[in-house]
Amino acid sequence: MRTPSSTRALRRGQSIIEFTFVGIPLMFVLISIFEMSRGMWMYHTLAHATKTAVRYSIVHGQNCVPPSTNTCSRTIGHIALEFKKAAVGIDEATTTMTFYTAASTTTCALNTCLGNPTVWPPAGGNAPGQILTIEAVTPFRSAIALFWPGSSPVTIGRVNLPARSSDRVAY
């Protein structure tokens, strides 16, 4: 006949097994939710920064008249700085930006765009009504790939998040 203490010991072992069956998948689901949320935050931040850079660009066109000087042309460096201010948490070393007009295309990494003295939008692409497009791509590295069985070389998963914004030159 079993004593009450031996029955409790058997139940304690059963509780550990049940927690393992439920707890491990639950932790995986929670980590997945956090990683998906982080990816969505990064994409939203990238899209917002791209739209901010385009808005900054469209008001510095051919007919722009600032209050203190006779010219208000901006460089890729100025636009990249506006992008960087809006892109909180985005790695500038791995983010690439591409600037499109009807006449030209320029691509650079964000950290090199910051020092680029090229005037943008260029003459011919800065007339009112011309379409300006800026595209930014940044990698999203997810630690969730570490939990997939069968991934022999354990690496961090990487997905490129693209964002693109276009608008017409206002002035």
pLDDT tops 80 at residue 7: no
Q: What is the pLDDT of residue 14?
A: 82
pLDDT tops 70 at residue 154: no
What does the pLDDT average to over 1-27?
A: 77
CA 159 to chain centre: 10
Q: What is the DSSP letter of 68?
A: S
Q: What is the pLDDT of residue 66?
A: 60
Structure tokens at 30: 């929670």
Q: What is the pLDDT of residue 16?
A: 85
Residue-level length of the chain: 171
CB atoms within 10 A of CB 49: 26
Q: What is the pLDDT of residue 86?
A: 97
Give residue for tokens 């948490």. 89
- Determine which of 73-82, 92-101, 153-162 has the lowest per-residue pLDDT on average: 153-162
- Is residue 87 exposed (0-12), middle (13-18) or buried (19+ Cβ within 10 Å)? buried
Q: At what angle do helices 4-58 and 76-86 cross, to 10 degrees?
A: 150
Report pTM.
0.81
pLDDT tops 60 at residue 68: no
What does the pLDDT average to over 106-134?
A: 92
Closest to 106 measured CA to CA, from 95, 96, 115? 96
